[in-house]
Structure 1
């Protein structure tokens, strides 16, 4: 039994070493880039609402240029929901869909990731006391640019945490809620964190 455990541990160490070597060295052109998939979870604060919106679990697919340090990729997140008290009194909820527009671009250098992406933000439903009103076309009038930077050391073979902030532009096509939404959320700083964990 001890021999089997020792062999299993040896295989795991060897696999980890191989991944690490792939990520920190450059060789032939076929070995100068790596593609990895991560489970993406996180949250963002909606300052104007006094609410927190959970994000994920979704998936981030990243391609890294090991020689030049350039990163590109995509991130897909499911629709999510936040519950809060409007004006501190009225039980309210909103369902939100975040959709990437174009690719993520950035750099990885010395364990630090800087990445930027643009996203459409759609509010698919609002309601009170769990009675929802669908909003099929309510979304930002322009893509939202979000800049993220790693918090602490980012190990591509494991993952890490990215953090940043962003501001929302105006929303349109939200029926009678359009101006209320814009009054509450437009042009306010909203914090965001994304935790990436490499998929096995």
Structure 2
């Protein structure tokens, strides 16, 4: 009788230990993704124009699975304006709208964020000496792939800076400006910097 009781107790202890181990391994993988809203500002240099284009203020909604190291999110940026000297002499401006074609996806591993997405870049107005000519459908003919990377120690709960480079494909439907826009901007390396601040 004593032997049977000891064996029964041993089986019970082993069962409790197994259930405990199951919960211990299941909890991290089933943890809900961290949802964060960011205020977004930044800038990009349009190398072919010798112009700096401010970005934002906009907003980003991000879900980060810190256990698996995956990130998905959306970003919304308003139309913005840049000024530059065309050919170094002609006072020129352009209004630009950058629109994501889908969600941003990437990873966060060892405190470093890598994220990428496809965008459409539209020039909504060009002009000289602050006199603008609206362009209804002047935009890139294929998606612009932008990849961004943070420095070490990125804290999702606070935010930080992401940087990268991208190239612009050809533009179309820009009327008489199509050829000159493509001559100046297509295929150039353009640096970009995005600042995220958790709300």
Q: TM-score, with normalisation over the residues of structure 2?
A: 0.85
Q: Tell me the distance in 2 between the aligned counterparts of 1:148 and 1:34.
A: 20
State the Cα distance separating 1:110 from its structure 2 match: 1.2
Aligned length: 174
Q: 1:147 to 1:35 in 2, by over 3 A?
A: same
**CA deviation after TM superposition for structure 1 residue 66, in Å:** 1.8
Pairing of 1:51-130 with structure 2 (within 5 A):
51-130=51-130
Q: CA deviation at 1:30?
A: 5.9
Match of 1:21 in 2: none
C-alpha distance in 2 between matches for 1:27 and 1:57: 38
Contact kept in structure 2, 1:32 and 1:67, CA below 8 Å: no
Q: Which has the larger radius of gyration?
A: 2
Query: Matches of residues 8-47 of structure 1 in structure 2 within 5 Å?
Result: 27=27, 31-47=31-47
Question: More displaced, 180-189 or 30-39?
Answer: 30-39
Please state whether the residue corresponding to 1:155 is helix, strand or coil: coil
TM-score (norm 1): 0.84
Higher alpha-carbon deviation: 29-38 or 135-144: 29-38
Q: Which runs of 5+ in 1 are unaligned?
A: 1-25
Contact 1:32-1:66 at 8 Å conserved across structures: no
Residues 125 and 133, structure 1, Cα contact 8 Å, conserved in 2: yes
Preserved CA contact (<8 Å) 1:37 1:198: yes
Q: 1:41-82 deviations in whole A, cap 9, x for unaligned?
A: 000000000000000000011001121000000000000000
Q: Does structure 1 conserve the Cα–Cα contact (< 8 Å) formed by 2:29 and 2:68?
A: no
Matched residue SS, 2:187: coil
1:188 aligns with 2:179: no
The corresponding residue for 1:151 is 151
1:182 aligns to what SS in structure 2?
helix
**Structure 2: gaps spanning 5 or more residues:** 1-25
Listed one character per residue, the Cα deviations across residues 129-171 of structure 1 (whole Å, up to 9, x for unaligned) are 0000000100000010000000342100100000000000000
Q: Which residue of 2 aligns with 1:132?
A: 132
